[in-house]
């Protein structure tokens, strides 16, 4: 797997991700580039300085910014490990993604999760985007810091979370207005796919459905944008 871009590569280095090879564009002298190079040297990572044309040829995303790191495949977490690591927190917040297929949306959601302190993100094994080069790039390196579990069945994960005291909220049109809900305690948010939304069977397993009020002519938001609004509204409520 390739990690591309300054932020993504730096975060991977700082998170002690195993990097087999770091390719750096020749001639970079700016402060951020020097920081990445020095961080890589401190971890004794093999650095290869190459012409920009070489990185252009090897790049998957086309947005390498002069840095391309080769790593082993992304290492997913186990859902039980995520729960164990956050047991001491009485207000855990998790995200369950019910069929997000666009890697750009997945990367953006993971970035929201990292910035907001979400304890973990759960994605399905099938019919959904997995963590790849594009996701890592779009997340700006957040994949190095957020625990991400890949599960066979989202509904089974919901049942496990309920057994561990979580309240499950589906983020979907037609529910109770987000700003009229008081959302506290251990919470898992279910975010549906771009075209399908939250599946009916999954929605039935949720404790409630919450919706973002719409005042324009369109009736929906991008999945990552909607996720960010809901997550930060929950954080706002917890600070009151």
Superfamily name and number for 2-71? Ribosomal protein L30/S12 (3.30.1330.30)
Domain coordinates in residue numbering, the chain: 2-71, 79-239
The pLDDT-based confidence of 69 (bands split at 50, 70, 90) is very high
Q: What is the pLDDT of residues 173-229, one digit of tens each?
A: 889 999 988 899 999 999 998 788 899 999 999 999 999 999 988 878 899 999 999
Share of the chain above pLDDT 90, in %: 75
- Domain 79-239 belongs to what architecture? 3-Layer(aba) Sandwich (3.40)
SS (H, E, C) the chain: CEEECHHHHHHHHHCCCCEEEEEEECCCCCHHHHHHHHHHHHCCCCEEEECHHHHHHHCCCCCCCCEEEEECCCCCECHHHHHHHCCCCCCCEEEEEECCCCHHHHHHHHHHHHHHCCCEEEEECCCCCCCCHHHHHHCCCHHHCCCEEEECCHHHHHHHHHHCCCEEEEEEEEEEEHHHCCCCCCEEEEEEECCCECCHHHHHHCCEEEECCCCCCCCCCCHHHHHHHHHHHHHHHHHC
Q: What is the pLDDT of residues 107-147, one digit of tens each?
A: 999 999 999 999 999 999 988 999 998 999 999 889 999 99
> pTM of the entire structure?
0.83
């Amino acid at each position: 797997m390739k990690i591309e871009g300054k932020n993504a590569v730096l975060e991977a280095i700082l998170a002690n991700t195993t990097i087999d090879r770091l390719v750096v564009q020749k001639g970079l002298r700016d402060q951020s580039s020097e920081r990445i190079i020095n961080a890589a040297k401190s971890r004794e990572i093999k650095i290869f300085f190459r012409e920009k044309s070489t990185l252009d040829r090897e790049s998957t995303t086309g947005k390498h910014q002069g840095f391309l790191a080769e790593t082993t495949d992304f290492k997913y977490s186990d859902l039980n490990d995520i729960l164990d690591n956050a047991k001491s927190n009485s207000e855990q917040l998790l995200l369950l993604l019910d069929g997000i297929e666009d890697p750009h949306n997945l990367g953006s959601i993971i970035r929201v999760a990292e910035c907001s302190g979400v304890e973990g993100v759960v994605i399905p094994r099938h019919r959904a985007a997995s963590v790849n080069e594009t996701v890592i790039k779009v997340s700006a390196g957040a994949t190095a810091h957020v625990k991400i579990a890949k599960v066979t069945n989202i509904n089974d994960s919901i049942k496990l979370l309920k057994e561990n005291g979580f309240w499950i909220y589906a983020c979907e049109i037609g529910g109770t207005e987000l700003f009229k809900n008081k959302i506290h305690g251990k919470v898992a948010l279910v975010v549906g796919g771009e075209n399908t939304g939250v599946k009916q069977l999954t929605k039935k397993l949720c404790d409630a459905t919450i919706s973002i009020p719409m005042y324009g002519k369109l009736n929906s938001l991008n999945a990552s944008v909607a996720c960010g609004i809901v997550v930060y509204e929950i954080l706002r409520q917890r600070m009151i």
